[in-house]
Amino acid sequence: MNGQHSIHYFNLKSELHELYFSISLRTFAIMLINIFVPIYLIKLGYTFQTVLWFFTIFAFTHAVTSFPAAKISSNIGLKHTILISVPFLILYYFLLYSVQFVQSLGIPIITIAVFGGVSNALFWIGHHTHFAEYSHEGKIGKELGTVKILISIFTAIGPVIGGLLLTFFSFNVVFLIVCGLLVLSVIPLLMSEDKHEAFRFSLEDFRNIFKTRDIIGNAGCGIEGSIQQIIWPVFIFFFILDQEFTTLGTISSLSLLFSLIITYMIANNVDKKPNFMNDIGAIINSCVWILKTFVRTSFQVLMIDSVSGMSRTTQNISFNKICYDKAKKTSTLQYIVLREFNINFAHAITYFFLSFVIAGAGSYFIAFLLGTIGSLMFLFYRA
């Protein structure tokens, strides 16, 4: 029985092989640096409010660019859409690398965020649509588990390596390494034929495809993800971890390791009981956000992030399984576009709101409360 379960993890459709090798390399590159970007900007002298405005523009650009990205993918193909996202991402990191020179030219820092948002829109539209199209009916949960495991093998050490590089070298060295890896990540995308998915914009069609429960669930994903990706790392880095890059990277890597373990355990159950697994992950994760308000030591951060890695994995794999099932039953590309718009519009509103709350009150409690609310909003998302 165990042997059969293990073998399935390497039984992806051939169309997915090149895509996920490329994504593994891309994710490893991004994991070297992404968690440290807001910290990098703060250390350069930008206020946290400015940093949150930066990510507001990033997320808003991603949201609105999802529609033209879908149209582009229908013309050039899904994998080619992923491919053209890479130059925008390299430009984004290069501009961050040169941010002080960019500002000396009178260009606002938030302009850099636009390139990151465009890259993300192109990448995720291609990625999610491609997976929804090529995944096996009735085995999406297992295949999501497969992808999670394959990517985690490559990326679990990313944050700790990034932390070590930042400790002994500099942000500039890490930026250059990341750009080199991103160039290499496009090679597998050139090895097989591409798929074109028709796309048209119709408000009436979109109202029929995306229901109120879908809007609430995806908005919750965006709200909770905003707190996890930006607010939490900044909070623990400056207030708990004594501004140690290596410690932050190590904790992030250990969280990924625990998510890898839980992925193997839950993959089968996600296909059988997607709503139940989504609910379990959402409820546990909402409790984790409440507990995070009491964290005061590095050891407590390690413990809570390990649990968070498992609860968020359960929540997110189940969420994506439900999403791909819904997309397959409607118009795949249209559904994915609405997903990306919803999630990233929620990101943008969350960052913008917190830019005033944290700057004004100096309290992170409301941010963690939003993490709890966002997790509970996953409960509205049903198969």
How many Å is the Cα radius of gyration of the chain?
Answer: 20
Binned at pLDDT 50, 70 and 90, residue 156 comes out as low
Mean pLDDT of 125-144: 75
From start to end of 35-190, where are the E strands? Answer: none
Higher pLDDT, 287 or 137: 287
Q: pLDDT per residue over 23-74, tens digit each?
A: 878 888 887 777 788 988 998 899 999 999 999 999 999 999 999 999 999 9
Higher pLDDT, 231 or 166: 231
3-state secondary structure 117-137: HHHHHHHHHHHHHHHHHHCCC
Report yes or no on 355 lying in a domain.
yes
140-155 and 14-31 are packed helices; what angle lies between their axes, rounded to 10 degrees? 40
Higher pLDDT, 142 or 101: 101
Whether pLDDT at 120 is above 90: yes
Report yes or no on 179 lying in a domain.
yes
Report yes or no on 273 lying in a domain.
yes
> What pLDDT was estimated at residue 3?
37
Report yes or no on 9 lying in a domain.
no
Let me know the angle formed at the C-alpha of 33 by 31 and 38, rounded to the nearest 5 degrees: 120
By the 8 A CB rule, do 191 and 18 touch? yes
Of 182, 265, 259, 233, the C-alpha closest to 2 is: 265
Report yes or no on 5 lying in a domain.
no
Say which CATH number the domain at 324 has. 1.20.1250.20
* Count of structural domains, the chain: 1
78-97 and 48-76 are packed helices; what angle lies between their axes, rounded to 10 degrees? 150
In single-letter form, the type of residue at position 238 comes to F
By the 8 A CB rule, do 71 and 127 touch? no
Q: pLDDT per residue over 227-239, tens digit each?
A: 999 999 999 888 8
Distance CA 353, CA 371 (A): 13
Distance CA 354, CA 350 (A): 6
Mean pLDDT of 338-350: 97
Residue bearing tokens 């997607």 = 274
Higher pLDDT, 186 or 314: 314
Report yes or no on 2 lying in a domain.
no
Mean pLDDT of 122-126: 93
Q: How many residues does the chain have?
A: 383
Structural tokens at position 309: 């890695």
Distance CA 382, CA 141 (A): 15
Mean pLDDT of 175-181: 84
- pLDDT averaged over every residue in the chain: 84
> What pLDDT was estimated at residue 4?
37
DSSP 3-state of 206: helix
Mean pLDDT of 230-250: 84
> What pLDDT was estimated at residue 348?
98
Report yes or no on 7 lying in a domain.
no
78-97 and 171-185 are packed helices; what angle lies between their axes, rounded to 10 degrees? 160
Binned at pLDDT 50, 70 and 90, residue 332 comes out as confident
Q: Which of 193-207, 208-222, 262-276, 299-313 has the highest mean pLDDT?
A: 208-222
Binned at pLDDT 50, 70 and 90, residue 6 comes out as very low
Whether pLDDT at 15 is above 90: no
Give the other-Cβ count within 10 Å of 248's Cβ. 26
Which domain covers residue 236, as residue numbers?
A: 14-380
> What pLDDT was estimated at residue 133?
77
Distance CA 230, CA 49 (A): 12
Distance CA 327, CA 40 (A): 38
> What pLDDT was estimated at residue 167?
75
Report yes or no on 8 lying in a domain.
no
Binned at pLDDT 50, 70 and 90, residue 154 comes out as low
